[in-house]
A and B are shown apart, each in its own frame.
Chain A
């Protein structure tokens, strides 16, 4: 259970960091940004690590679903921060923008996370067969 928690939390943060650094709207604000290729590679590795790190497959799938949900929530929170902190006179537009960018991130990263999960599952099965 502890391992499940560590893996899920770490991958949630990793996916959130990837999504935030990829978000086109945030690109002008910070030097920490990546392109779609960085997001694809990072998401693929996250998916693979999840299935390599957690057994059985059912628990790994639940962990991946949690990681995806938590990372999307973190991305939403980061983009909506100026609205939540009452820094801007137009908070609704930041909330709307956050929703749009999260959708974009999910579409961009989702397939690669799943592909990584499949590859990770195969690697895990082979490792398991050898032992």
Chain B
């Protein structure tokens, strides 16, 4: 009887430890997995007209991880077909997005009016807008920031 209780006690220690290991591994993997893709989305976009100098854009980003993350140095380029017609010129202010939160990021894109006019004239009728860019993410567990590339198509 003593031997059985003794063995059961050790088995219980093993099971509890296994539970802790699985839980930590699961939290760790889900966070690492979630920071590989932040699921950016274009929430709002005002297409510039031929004489626009600015265009407003709102991006939505999801932080699906279990930790608060700092988003920094977001630079966005606006493309019309295969030409860059504007960019944000580094005006993005760093912001912290809480764990499991969505954030809307309003941006103002400075338009290269000449390029836009030329591209609109060359591609009359077909306007495929898209965005490219880059941003950095600071996480408490990493000494240096992670650098990401951004690429989004804007639905007409």
Interface residues of A in 74-97 (CB under 8 A from B): 74, 78, 81-82, 85, 87-88
Q: Chain A residues with Cβ under 8 A from B33's Cβ? A: 82, 87
- Does B11 belong to the interface (CB within 8 Å)? yes
Given the interface pairs A25-B141, A28-B141, the reply to whether A20 lies near B11 with Cβ below 8 Å is no
Q: Count of A-B contacts with CB under 8 A?
A: 89
Contact residue among B6, B10, B18, B66 (Cβ-Cβ distance under 8 Å from A29): B66
Residue B24 at the A interface, CB < 8 A? yes
A115 located at the interface, meaning its Cβ lies under 8 Å from any Cβ of chain B in the complex: no
A residues in contact with B152, CB < 8 Å: none
Chain B contact surface mostly: helix
Which bucket holds chain B's interface residue count? 20 to 34
| A40 at the binding interface (Cβ < 8 Å) | no
Q: Contact at B10–A6, with CB atoms within 8 Å?
A: yes
Which of B7, B11, B18, B20 interacts with A32 by CB under 8 Å? B20
With A13-B14, A28-B141 already in contact, the answer to whether A88 and B36 are too (CB < 8 A) is: yes
Q: Give chain B residues whose Cβ lies under 8 Å from the Cβ of A87.
A: 29, 32-33, 36
Residue from A6, A14, A17, A87 with most neighbouring chain B CB atoms (10 Å):
A17
A16 to B7, CA, bound (A): 19
When chains A and B are docked, how far (Å) is the Cα of A10 from the Cα of B19?
12
Is B140's beta carbon under 8 Å from chain A?
yes
Closest residue of chain B to A52, judged by CB? B6
Indicate if the CB atoms of B36 and A20 lie closer than 8 Å.
Answer: no
Tell me whether B89 is interfacial, beta carbon within 8 Å.
no
Given the interface contacts A13-B18, A32-B20, A32-B24, does A6 sit within 8 Å of B29 by beta carbon? no
B interface with A by C-beta (< 8 Å): 3, 6-7, 10-11, 13-14, 16-18, 20-21, 23-25, 27-29, 31-33, 36, 66-67, 139-141
Q: List 30 A-B contacts (CB under 8 A).
A: A3-B7, A6-B7, A9-B14, A10-B13, A11-B10, A11-B13, A13-B17, A13-B21, A14-B14, A14-B17, A17-B17, A17-B20, A26-B28, A28-B139, A29-B24, A29-B27, A29-B28, A29-B67, A29-B141, A30-B27, A30-B66, A32-B23, A49-B10, A53-B10, A74-B21, A78-B25, A81-B25, A82-B28, A82-B29, A82-B32
Known: A14-B17, A82-B29, A87-B29; 5 extra A-B contacts, CB below 8 A, are: A3-B3, A6-B7, A6-B11, A29-B31, A82-B28
